[in-house]
Amino acid sequence: MSTIRDVAAKAGVHPSTVSRVFSGNAQISESTRERVLAAAQVLNFQPNAIARSLSVRRTKTIGVIVPHVFDGYFTDSFFPQLMAGLLEVTYARGYRLLVGGCNGYQDEHVQAMDILATRQADGIVVTSSRLDVDTVGELQRHNTPTVLIGRPPAQHANVAWVDADNRNATQKVVRYLAGLGHRRIAYVGGDPDSSVVKERLEGYLAGMNEAGLTVSEEWIDYGYFAEDGGYQAVERTRRTEANAPTAYFAANDLMAIGILQGLKERGLAVPEQVSVIGTNDSPEAAHLSPRLTSLQVPYRAMAAAAATRLIDAIAQGQLPRGQTTFESQLIERGSVSSIK
């Protein structure tokens, strides 16, 4: 591989001139430009991005950590949409994505810090916020370009984030269900330590309250985002049939599928006897029977917005700011009906 000095020698100029020719932003006479380009051509010269990064202290890369050990992570539609949104804008802006695995929330934090501390990326988007690991706090303390997908714990008021309207959307779902006459509505969340799940729970509680419904502890369960968790949630929520929910809201479609399955095995018809609403509008939702009504969260748009905000900030040499909430949309299909 040839270097800038090889080209300089061949073209009879100083290396700095070659550099200027390739970085574009300098006054170079047409004749020397041509000579340099010709020399580069025959030497098959390509500037070394690593050397450039070292010099300009910019990598044109943004980092993202994915918890590769959670199988469901790749099955759920969140991940593909996240990547799609991220790539859409990184590509358009001439950036690339540095993706690292991690084996849990604690490690996500370690990996994120590592990527930034070692200057492998210009900024990072972090996708999970859990209350037990203060990733956000440390990221802030290090003054490092970060934008979250998902709202941070309250103590970090001025981090940049994009988020879905988890609380409101859930409240709306409950309102919708209550409007159809449902009085016993179950909330099946994912990981109870994640902030999304907490926000949704708040929305659920608010919605129940708004509708004048008292909630029974039995209706609140956690399926940890897995199909089996949804399945078990129906067992746990239906100990006494008199108090059993007539509607379920699940924090993703995988759990909703588990719920559908559990209901079916108990001989309960959906939507005639029990209604079910999932979240994420994953590809399979439209193909289940009954077709699953699902709360569509615009993850792709959120990811794109996050990347845009991050890259804008990096370009201007400052920390990202701003916080945007995206509206979710209920995709009504066939898994919900009213109570007569």
Give residues in contact with DNA (CB under 7 A). 1-5, 12-17, 19-20, 22-23, 26-29, 31-33, 45-48, 51-52, 54-57
Locus of tokens 């990202």:
320
Dist. CA 156–CA 136, nearest whole Å: 7
CB of 320 to a copy of itself, least distance (A): 19
Close Cβ partners of 95 (under 8 Å, ≥ 6 residues apart): 60, 61, 62, 89, 122, 307, 311
Q: Decide if residue 334 touches a copy of itself (CB under 8 A).
A: no
One-letter amino acid of 335: S
Minimum CB distance to DNA smaller for 10 or for 20: 20
Which of DNA, a copy of itself, none does residue 28 bind to, with CB < 5 to 8 Å depending on kind?
DNA
Dist. CA 66–CA 228, nearest whole Å: 22
Among 165, 218, 284, 312, binds a copy of itself (CB under 8 A): 284
Give the number of other CB atoms < 10 A from CB of residue 129: 23
With CB under 8 A as the contact rule, which of the stretches 32-40, 110-118, 262-270, 272-280 interacts with a copy of itself? 110-118
Among 19, 53, 168, 216, binds a copy of itself (CB under 8 A): 53
Q: Decide if residue 179 touches a copy of itself (CB under 8 A).
A: no
Q: How buried is 1 (Cβ within 10 angstroms: 0-12 exposed, 13-18 middle, 19+ buried)?
A: exposed
Q: Decide if residue 190 touches a copy of itself (CB under 8 A).
A: no
Closest CA to 274 of 201, 161, 180: 180
Q: Decide if residue 48 touches a copy of itself (CB under 8 A).
A: yes
Minimum CB distance to a copy of itself smaller for 184 or for 333: 333
With CB under 8 A as the contact rule, which of the stretches 27-35, 85-93, 153-161, 185-193 interacts with a copy of itself? 85-93
Q: Decide if residue 131 touches a copy of itself (CB under 8 A).
A: no
Minimum CB distance to DNA smaller for 57 or for 340: 57
Dist. CA 263–CA 321, nearest whole Å: 45
Which of DNA, a copy of itself, none does residue 29 bind to, with CB < 5 to 8 Å depending on kind?
DNA
CB of 61 to a copy of itself, least distance (A): 7
Which of DNA, a copy of itself, none does residue 162 bind to, with CB < 5 to 8 Å depending on kind?
none
Instruction: Output the CA torsion sign for 144, 147, 152, 156.
Output: positive
Close Cβ partners of 195 (under 8 Å, ≥ 6 residues apart): 129, 130, 131, 150, 151, 152, 153
CB of 259 to a copy of itself, least distance (A): 13
Which of DNA, a copy of itself, none does residue 74 bind to, with CB < 5 to 8 Å depending on kind?
a copy of itself
Minimum CB distance to DNA smaller for 14 or for 239: 14
DSSP per-residue string spanning 73-109: HHHSSHHHHHHHHHHHHHHHTT-EEEEEE-SSHHHHH
Locus of tokens 């709360």:
295
Q: Decide if residue 135 touches a copy of itself (CB under 8 A).
A: no
Question: CA Rg, the chain, in Å?
Answer: 26
Minimum CB distance to a copy of itself smaller for 86 or for 169: 86
How far, CA to CA in Å, does 230 sit from each of 62, 221, 224, 283? 35, 9, 8, 18
Residues in contact with a copy of itself by CB under 8 A are 1, 46-51, 53-54, 59, 61, 66, 68, 71, 74-75, 79-81, 83-84, 87-88, 90-91, 96-103, 114-115, 117-120, 257, 282-284, 287-289
